[in-house]
Structure 1
Amino acid sequence: MKIVKAEFLTGAVSPKQYPKQPLPEVAFIGRSNVGKSSLINSLVNRKKLVKTSATPGKTQMINFFNINDAWMLADLPGYGFARVPDSVKKHWQTLIENYLQERDTLESVVLIVDIRRKPTELDLHMKDWLQQVGLEYVVVATKADKLSQTERQQQMKKIKQAFSDDGQRTVLMYSSKNNNGRKELWSYFQNLQKKEEAEPETD
């Protein structure tokens, strides 16, 4: 997908601060320091649209980005970072859960994991929660460039086993360094939108 416009709109800590544009929205979520910001920058072909940091827990609000006046991307706070106060963790959890359950324009969630690691209990808990509330989601395994081809195949097999309960879940491999997986992830979004447009409206 050719990106002609990619801009930061706003950061939100409550629903009243969410953008009002009726664009289809995709949310990105994952464990702290999993490469979420780098993935979004790679996806929209921008180096510094989303600020990256070596410090886990940097994102403390939901950041919204307008892409081509056609899509809205929402960067959610990372979960699982231990070195923040419990009150902050509780705020993040509430913020994330409320957004995911109440955002009408949300079409899909990108659940990001590190291809080098075994999915954590928190990753699997997020998967179960997304399924329980009925949200469409895709699993993306980042940092693929850090493994050999054989290692990538081995890790992807483990990740697919962990997330594909029914064998139907889309699990993609991604490298923000060389953009491998970018085309496949955009294709997933576009196919999802076509599916939504093809479904008949119900009263």
Structure 2
Amino acid sequence: MANPAPNPLNAARYLLSAHTARQLPPDDGVEVAFAGRSNAGKSSALNALAGHNALARVSKTPGRTQQLVYFEIKPQKLLVDLPGYGYAKVPQELMAHWQAFIDEYFAHRQALKGLVVVMDIRHPLKDYDRQMLGYAVRRGIPAHALLTKADKLGRGQQSDTLRKVKNELFSAYGDTVGVQAFSAESKQGVEEARAVVAGWLGL
């Protein structure tokens, strides 16, 4: 049996966490950001793509990612874990700070070359998901929607949801947003998503 292809994201290691724009690394590399509602499975997806058990912290408490967390694969090749959004227990001032910070990040960050939006396949395309996809489309940055926790649905339900989401995204954004079913648990779709991210990073 042929050996599996080496994972280009496996070298990812924690680099830094940024709470303000001043703390971001120099804006001269290539980075791919990951966004998702709290508890959509963003940390699990990042871990599965990188082939790590604990690259991104998986928490039972929603909203644990409260900064932009950077992981370096090699110099100037970075993954960025954005704050989990849509969690009501975060204080209002902190929510406002994140919103302003994320707005600025998406408006001006030149290194940003792709956005992965992680959605629970059972609850896709909430307002926040559309907002994140809208950021990418307005900047002309490619986006890819991961419909996570696909193992929670049967194949028929997966196909139905995937078709509906594809149709809705195509109506809203044309063919600028990719979409796929994904499961960190069963590894469904991991290779496909990894190839998208590695391509954006030029790996």
TM-score, length basis structure 1: 0.87
State the Cα distance separating 1:70 from its structure 2 match: 6.6
Alpha-carbon distance between aligned partners in 2 of 1:148 and 1:53, rounded to the nearest angstrom: 26
Q: Residue 188 of structure 1 aligns to which amino acid in structure 2?
A: V
1:152 maps to 158
Count of residues in correspondence between the two structures: 195
Matched, 1:182 2:190: yes
Per-residue CA distance 1:45-65 (angstroms, 9 max, x = gap): 000111111111111100000
- Percent identity over paired residues: 33
More deviation, 176-185/128-137: 128-137
1:106 maps to 112
2:85 maps to 79
Matched, 1:14 2:20: yes
Unaligned runs of 5+ in 1: 195-203
Q: For 2:147, which of 128, 141, 145 is the aligned residue? A: 141
1:199 maps to none
Q: Residue 97 of structure 2 aligns to which amino acid in structure 1?
A: H
State the Cα distance separating 1:19 from its structure 2 match: 2.2
Alpha-carbon distance between aligned partners in 2 of 1:125 and 1:21, rounded to the nearest angstrom: 23
Deviating beyond 4 angstroms after TM superposition, the runs of 4 or more aligned structure 1 residues are none
More deviation, 126-135/70-79: 126-135
Unaligned runs of 5+ in 2: 1-5
Compared CA separation, residues 94 and 59, structure 1 to 2 (3 A): same
Q: How does 1:1-203 map to 2 (within 5 A)?
A: 1-2=6-7, 3-20=9-26, 22-69=28-75, 71-165=77-171, 166-167=174-175, 169-192=177-200
TM-score, length basis structure 2: 0.87
Alpha-carbon distance between aligned partners in 1 of 2:105 and 2:130, rounded to the nearest angstrom: 19
Q: Would the aligned equivalents of 1:118 and 1:158 in 2 still touch at CA under 8 Å?
A: no
